[in-house]
Amino acid sequence: MGTTPAPNDSTSGVPRRGDPGPGGRFEGTGTSAPGGSVQGAGIPAPGSSGHAPEAPAPGFPTSDTTAPGTPVPAIPTPGRPVRGSAGGRPVMAALDLLGRRWTLRVIWELHVDGAPIGFRDLQRRCDDMSSSVLSTRLTELREAGIAASTSTAAQPAWHLTSLGDDLVTAMGPLLDWSRAWAERR
């Protein structure tokens, strides 16, 4: 009774996943990260100042969609390390790119009419998502070869490339599945 229990879920008495366990070790890994933080959690280890920044691994700039200190490539690319695959398997790179917030919606809206669309119109179609997020997603899709822009009189207009059209075609079975799923619910 004289000791203080580890932080836990008040209903089960089990330490929470992100809590440091006894001795400053992170539950599930048994290791502390260099720089005084608990590996993967961004939690200062006991007795440390916790001020040492966690730098991304070499060759891994962080993107805007990841937690601070989580190293992933800015633009997922087959053959380079991506979330879920140190070797950069193409399917994992595609899932990393497509799993970013708003990416699939942007692709869908570029696909719907098949005609190029301006930035502001695309933003409105995407429920007025922030312009910075839309700009980031369009840049990622352009660098991945899925979308491109063409200049019109006043502003660039965005459209899917042939690779982007192939992606939409490949997603057809998922669309069919989702409709069948909706009917069953």
Query: For position 97, what pLDDT does the model report?
Result: 95
Average pLDDT over residues 86-113: 94
Average pLDDT over residues 126-138: 94
22 within some domain: no
Region of residue 155 (left: phi > 0; alpha: psi -120 to 50; beta: else): beta
125 within some domain: yes
184 within some domain: no
Cβ atoms of 168 and 159 closer than 8 Å: no
Query: For position 44, what pLDDT does the model report?
Result: 39
118: domain CATH number is 1.10.10.10
The C-alpha R_g of the chain, in whole angstroms, comes to 22
142 within some domain: yes
User: Rounded distance, CA 173 to CA 170, Å?
Assistant: 7
Q: What percent of the chain has pLDDT over 70?
A: 59
Residue 125 pLDDT grade (very low, low, confident, very high; cuts 50, 70, 90): very high
For the chain, how many structural domains are there in total? 1
What residue numbers bound the domain in which 126 lies? 103-170
89 within some domain: no
Express each pLDDT in 145-161 by its tens digit.
Answer: 999 998 766 778 999 99
116 within some domain: yes
Q: Tell me the HSE value of 130 on the side-chain side, using a 13 A CA sphere.
A: 4
The single-letter DSSP state of residue 155 is S
Residue 165 pLDDT grade (very low, low, confident, very high; cuts 50, 70, 90): very high
177 within some domain: no
38 within some domain: no
